[in-house]
Amino acid sequence: MDRLYVFDTTLRDGEQSPGASLTSDEKFEIALQLADLGVDVIEAGFPIASPDDLAAVRRIANEVKGPLIAGLARCRPEDIDAAWEALKDGENVRIHTFISTSDIHLQHQFRMTRDQALEQAVDMVLRAKRYVSDVEFSPMDATRSDWNFLYQMLEAVIEAGATTVNIPDTVGFITPIEFGQLVASIRQHVKNIEKAVISVHCHNDLGMAVSNSLSAVLNGARQVECTINGIGERAGNAALEEIVMATNTRPEIYGVKTGIDTKQIYKTSRLVSTLTGIVVQPNKAVVGSNAFAHEAGIHQDGLLKDRSTYEIMDARDVGLSQSTLVLGKHSGRHALRARFEELGYHLSDEELNRAFVRFKEIADKKKEVTTKDLEAILADEISQVPEAYQVAMLQVSCGYPAVPTATVSLKLPNGDERTEVATGTGPVDASYQAIAKIVNLPVRLAEYSVRSVTGGIDALGEVSVRIESGNRTFHGRGADPDIIVASAKAYLNALNKAAAAPQEAPERTDLGVAGRVGV
């Protein structure tokens, strides 16, 4: 079987998802997990976009071992130089450069002729080659480009030294059969195509990103660009877990194998969802909470007789635990550690101690602490944001008729405590007003959502919020059996990130606000 290379762009295209914004520490943590997952390439960011992005790519290139680390660059000298600046101390690095090839983009956006685009692409691949041997080139909006011009462009950049040529369906326009034909025609018409790996990068505007990618694989593409949970610009990118599990489940069709450790899929999905604040829909293939749940009686009956009657994948293969071990208030540290280990989380003593305190609090209120509860606890604990402000006390009174009123005490960065009282439209609003009086940062609450981690009246509530501060967005989350407490924790988590962020406004680039550059 041929090897299919997995190029993960969660930290670059995924981070361009509306509302997603990751701190450098969060990006680093995701990169470490992507390395455990076994991806071949991590696209760590777009170094020219902002000093923060450059620093994040640099840290990942220097410290994350295993995958190749790529940095994105437009076909511009300053972009290529910034990408190299970020990557130069890494062991195993790639510059990924791109320029549009469609007439729609060239005429209306870049006001450039095809010849100018061709010349610029070749010059920039040559420039990147002066720095590094591994260079990827992408003709942006390839699927709406003239196919003959595309062949010409690909031949020229391969001649200049590109080792991977990526075919982006930038606007999610193409259909699977057409895309397969395009990849087959590229193999037929680009004379030197054997010198490069053909890659594909599909967006999901019409819900076909994964199908398009797989059709390209059937026609000879050997690198797929994808993201965890399919997050990304607009409707997102092809979902890594779906492509990997499709090729694993149907090897007789696709004839390729990836280097992915599928048992890490669920954990990676959960981490990305927690840190980006982008919740995975329950019916999402492979990683949704219903992906392995069987409701219909006839299905349950079949499964009890033989799993293969209604399951084409084993939940354990994607890292979902089948453990029946239930933890409760009598469980000790050892049992908790053992359970985390079983779930693939190796905690330091300090992390275990913190998780244990949370576990006991929850076990006091809830009879059984499930895997999902444990993951919610962990998600709180893995937030590496310095907790400048912490909830010391929270009391609300509300009801009908009543004026919702909250009294909140916060521990301040200098160790003091301050208490404020506020009223609001509801208990959450009242708590947030009281917190805002104390923290006093100019932020706007842009999104608030609450979900129950498991079923049952005593379930943990998990709250996710997004706040805006100037040009920047910060996501916060918190979990607690009391949803008002979970709400306060989530708000403070986001405020603590805003307080810790560098104060200067991000620069503007010609493609948008730096750090949020959309390509």
* Binding site residues, Zn ion, CB under 5 A: 13
Nearer to ligand KIV, 61 or 140 (CB): 140
Tokens 């995958």 belong to: 67
CB of 13 to ligand KIV, least distance (A): 5
Nearer to ligand KIV, 107 or 283 (CB): 107
CB of 55 to ligand KIV, least distance (A): 21
17 touches ligand KIV by CB under 6 A: no
**Beta pairing, strands 197-202 & 5-8:** unpaired
Query: Pick from ligand KIV, Zn ion, none: which does 140 bind, CB < 5 to 8 A by kind?
Result: ligand KIV
162 touches 175 (CB < 8 A):
no
Strand order in the sheet with 444-452: 444-452, 461-469, 472-480
Question: 3-state DSSP call for residue 234?
Answer: coil
Tokens 């749940």 belong to: 293
Nearer to ligand KIV, 18 or 328 (CB): 18
Nearer to ligand KIV, 200 or 459 (CB): 200
Nearer to ligand KIV, 165 or 352 (CB): 165
Nearer to ligand KIV, 445 or 511 (CB): 511
CB of 514 to ligand KIV, least distance (A): 16
CB of 340 to ligand KIV, least distance (A): 36
Query: Pick from ligand KIV, Zn ion, none: which does 162 bind, CB < 5 to 8 A by kind?
Result: none
Nearer to ligand KIV, 166 or 247 (CB): 166
134 touches ligand KIV by CB under 6 A: no
138 touches ligand KIV by CB under 6 A: yes
75 touches ligand KIV by CB under 6 A: no
Which of the stretches 155-163, 165-173, 281-289, 396-404 binds ligand KIV when contact is defined by CB under 6 A? 165-173
CB of 72 to ligand KIV, least distance (A): 6
| Segment 170 to 199, residues that bind ligand KIV, using CB under 6 A | 170
The only residue of 27, 201, 466, 477 in contact with ligand KIV, by rule CB under 6 A: 201
Q: Which residues contact 212 (CB under 8 A, 6 or more apart)?
A: 169, 174, 175, 176, 179, 200, 202, 238
How far apart (Å, rounded) are the C-alpha atoms in residues 164 and 222?
10
Cα distances from 441 to residues 312, 465, 494, in angstroms, run 51, 16, 11
292 - beta bridge partners?
none
Query: Pick from Zn ion, ligand KIV, none: which does 14 bind, CB < 5 to 8 A by kind?
Result: none
474 touches ligand KIV by CB under 6 A: no
The only residue of 13, 26, 52, 381 in contact with ligand KIV, by rule CB under 6 A: 13
Tokens 């059996």 belong to: 481
Nearest by Cα to 420 from 441, 440, 400, 444:
440
How far apart (Å, rounded) are the C-alpha atoms in residues 445 and 430?
13
168 touches ligand KIV by CB under 6 A: yes
Question: 3-state DSSP call for residue 122?
Answer: helix
End-to-end CA distance of the chain: 33
| Segment 94 to 133, residues that bind ligand KIV, using CB under 6 A | 98
389 touches 411 (CB < 8 A):
yes
61 touches 44 (CB < 8 A):
yes
- In terms of C-beta density within 10 A (0-12 exposed, 13-18 middle, 19 or more buried), how is residue 341 classed? exposed
519 touches ligand KIV by CB under 6 A: yes
| Segment 405 to 464, residues that bind ligand KIV, using CB under 6 A | none
CA 268 to chain CA centroid, Å, is 9
- List interacting residues with ligand KIV (CB under 6 A): 13, 98, 138, 140, 166, 168, 170, 201, 203, 519
